[in-house]
Amino acid sequence: MRILIVSYAFPPYNDIGHVRVGKTAKYLARFGHEIRVLTARNQPHQTSLPVEIPAEWVIATDWWNVNKPAEWAFGGRAAVADRGLVVKGRLRPAIEAIRALYRRVYKQGVGFPDDQIGWFPFAVRAASRLMAEWKPDLIYASAMPYTSLLVAWRVSRRCHIPWVAELRDLWVDFHRYRFGALRKRIERRVERMVLSSAVGLVTVSPPLASVLERKYRKPTLVMLNGYDPDDSGEPVETLCSSQLRIVYTGMIYEGRQDPAPLFEALRNLKWQRHQVSVEFYGRYLEVARECAQAYGVADLVHLMGQVTHQDALRIQREADALLLLLWQDTGEKGIYTGKLFEYIGAGRPILAIGPSDNVAGDLIRERGAGTVCQDAKEVGRQLSAWMARKCRGEPVAAVPRQARTGLTREDQVRRLETFLMELAPARTR
């Protein structure tokens, strides 16, 4: 089958959504399908992800950056990519007020439906050129950003090709939708116009699938993120050093994730706390430093900065335990993080902190992949148990192999392949 993947998010740019779409393309090609990918070049991310399909199958276009004014105001594109629209120092209150105004006015009108709308005309034009020499049987578009869905919708209508929409987060029904009522009414109409034309929908968890099925009455598939053994290899036993090494990879979303129970537990360990080291790798981690300082344990916390995806996977495998900060908002019960599946693939026990009533907590418990703690006392008990093993010269026990069953990227894309084959025109089956 010929499949055109339309996604702004794609390697070599290193972000978790880019990993998912890159792995989808890799395995659909490995299963024997003819793939082309329509994406954007020059994205504000580290260029460290491998492109795992032939380079000539990737059509990367230019795009207009509608956020240039904001990037200029907040220190330039590199600074915004590293730390977001954040300002420190004496001018912070005034600049934050300007930032709030920018979000209310500029982003409401210009970034519609998202900040990547400047990719739309370039992508549609590139797709039209592609159709002159290579016509797909099916278009598969992945969002976020939702501009990817607009591109697929336009190309589908123009070329009469069925298309499938993947929503890694809900669109207007996203519970943290941050725009006003007028924009929401308009955007709801746009969403319905676009998604109603798709022949099928894909999302990342059963709760999100239930919303889409109820709203659109279309075939809907849950495809989890998974992990790729080609990247991570087999989990390894950690060295029996006396220090307990806890690792976190990725970003921290201030107000949505809270490391405080871990730092409070470390403070409560008193003199034993020096047997623990907590390492954070990624972007937007200043909240961890500030929180650790507030609890008096900053000497145990190390902010290492962003690393490549391959290095992050290696670091995960070499840790004693892996820290997962669950979403604090009860509206995010249906959200898995892509990091969770990479953690499971690493084979190291997960220390999940936050509300336990969500799909991520359920998966950890069901798979025996770690422990879910809601407060500092629970965290402290788990740390003490792991530290006792280390003091006896024993490694922290690895996660059972069966915890990873069915969660590889290959397993998940195989389910997607079956779904797409059922939706494809009869001549391609």
48, burial (CB in 10 Å: exposed 0-12, middle 13-18, buried 19+)? middle
Which domain covers residue 387, as residue numbers?
Answer: 229-404
What CATH number is attached to the domain comprising 357?
3.40.50.2000
Same domain, 162 and 262: no
- Alpha carbons 169 and 147: distance in angstroms, whole number: 13
Please check whether residues 187 and 75 belong to one and the same domain: no
Pair 397, 285 in one domain: yes
Give the pLDDT confidence of 366-386 residue by residue, as tens digits: 999 999 999 999 999 999 999
Q: Report which secondary-structure segment, H or E, holds 36.
A: strand 34-40
DSSP string, 278-297: EEEESSS-HHHHHHHHHTT-
Strand (E) or helix (H) holding 3: strand 2-6
Regarding whether 153 and 198 lie in a shared domain, the answer is yes
pLDDT digits (tens, 9 = 90+) for 49-73: 999 999 999 999 999 988 776 556 5
Task: Kindly tell me if the per-residue pLDDT of 331 is higher than 70.
Answer: no
Q: What is the mean pLDDT of residues 154-177?
A: 93
Listed residues 110, 140, 175: the one ending a domain: 110
At 267-295, the pLDDT tens digits run 999 878 889 999 999 988 999 999 999 99
pLDDT at 235 exceeding the cut of 90: no
Share of the chain above pLDDT 70, in %: 87
Same domain, 343 and 263: yes
**Structural domains of the chain, count:** 3
Q: Are 376 and 402 in contact (CB under 8 A)?
A: no
In this prediction, residue 358 carries a pLDDT of: 86
Q: Does residue 187 sit in the same domain as residue 332?
A: no
**Among the three residues 55, 75, 110, which one is the final residue of a domain in this structure?**
110
Residues 253 and 344 in one domain: yes
* Same domain flag for 240 and 345: yes
- Give the chain's mean pLDDT: 88
CB 142 within 8 A of CB 9: yes
Phi, psi of 350 (to 5 degrees): -100, 130
pLDDT(76) > 60: no
Element (H, E) at 166: strand 163-167
pLDDT of 425: 78
Q: What is the DSSP letter of 106?
A: I
Does 101 lie in the same domain as 211? no
Note the residue count of the chain: 429
| Same domain membership, residue 215 and residue 164 | yes
Q: How many helices (H) and strands (E) does the chain have?
A: 17, 13
Output the pTM of the full model. Answer: 0.87
Same-domain check for residues 281 and 146: no
Strands (E) located in 186-344: 200-203, 220-222, 244-249, 276-281, 301-305, 321-325
Is 92 in the same domain as 174? Answer: no
Of 106-115, 226-235, 305-314, which has the strongest mean pLDDT? 305-314
pLDDT category, 338, cuts 50, 70, 90? Answer: confident
